[in-house]
Structure 1
Amino acid sequence: MTVKVIPYLVMDGNAKEAIDFYKEALGAEVAYVQTFGEMPENPEFPLPEQAKNRVSHATIQVGGAEIMFSDTFPGQPHQVGNQVTLCITSDDMEKSRKMFEALSQNGNVTMPLQETFFSPAYGTVIDKFGVTFQIYTEGEH
């Protein structure tokens, strides 16, 4: 079983600019970038035009470490200083479930742990100390 903790920076429409900045400043390699417009369409929730070019998910490599990014969806609140979350990745669904449940104790689940198009088990929770965690399970779903 592998578990990693990855800093996740949530930007307000300027994730592409931040990625370019950190690429230069840190000598980073861009590993992955996907916009909301490149995600699979959901007819029940049509994508607003102003969201299409925002980054839904990106990863850069800085030496042996990763930093992940996304933009907020248009209209979501964003406060500078609170845009850093921790993404815990695991290749073990049961381990993901246990970590999510433990972090949820006296916390606030903002997205229940569930299957998504990109993960067999993904969810977000703000723990009792106010730290936001994303639990991401690698693998097929």
Structure 2
Amino acid sequence: MQAQLIPFIISGDARAQAAFYIEAVGGEIHALSTFGDAPGTPESSKDKVMHLSMTLAGGNTLIMTDAFQDAEPSANMGLSLSFDDEEAARTAYRNLSAGGVEKYPFALQPWGNFYYGELVDRFGMTWQLVKQG
């Protein structure tokens, strides 16, 4: 059996979160539909994102939807990006941490020949950024 794991984020504001990620690491939205596209949707929910599909940082797929109640960030899930260029990784770390919390500075690690940094972005998503030696 072969399958592809695609992260799915339930967001408080999928449009704003997607725009932030595209600005921070590059990418594009490929599909966006709202709950207004579904019959019987209440007027107050018609502009909410039902499905947003995007690629980030060179082709990684991410799917998002808007939550119907407050979206609580999860401490049990995060996203990780591995880079082949140190400056690109540093830039992504700086961009993703804007308005968020830097948990672990992006730096060369003493336990191996790689760079690592961890942050929680302004939407509550934990990111780990890595650059091998």
Residue of structure 2 equivalent to 1:81: 74
Contact 2:31 2:52 in 1 (8 A): yes
What's the CA shift for 1:52? 0.5
Correspondence list, 1:53-132, <5 A: 53-62=47-56, 63-73=58-68, 76=69, 78-81=71-74
Structure 1 residues 77, 24: CA separation in 2 closer, same or farther (over 3 Å shift)? closer
Residue of structure 1 equivalent to 2:10: 10
- The 3-state SS of whatever aligns with 2:21 is helix
What's the CA shift for 1:21? 0.9
How far apart are the structure 2 equivalents of 1:16 and 1:84? 20
Residue of structure 2 equivalent to 1:47: 41
Contact 1:11 1:83 in 2 (8 A): no
RMSD over aligned CA atoms reads 2.3
How far apart are the structure 2 equivalents of 1:83 and 1:33? 27
- The 3-state SS of whatever aligns with 2:18 is helix
How far apart are the structure 2 equivalents of 1:59 and 1:84? 19
Which structure has the larger Rg over C-alpha atoms? 2
Contact 1:57 1:69 in 2 (8 A): yes
Contact 2:14 2:49 in 1 (8 A): yes
Letter of the 2:8 counterpart:
Y
- The 3-state SS of whatever aligns with 1:70 is strand
Letter of the 1:67 counterpart:
L
What's the CA shift for 1:50? 1.6
1:49-97: per-residue Cα shift (whole Å, max 9, x none)? 1210010011111213101100012xx3531226969xxxxxxxxxxxx
How far apart are the structure 2 equivalents of 1:71 and 1:84? 18
How far apart are the structure 2 equivalents of 1:28 and 1:64? 7
Letter of the 2:23 counterpart:
E
Q: Please, which runs of 5 or more residues in structure 1 have no aligned partner? A: 86-141
Q: Please, which runs of 5 or more residues in structure 2 have no aligned partner? A: 79-133
Aligned residues: 77
The TM-score, its normalising length taken from structure 2, stands at 0.51
How far apart are the structure 2 equivalents of 1:17 and 1:82? 21
Letter of the 1:50 counterpart:
S
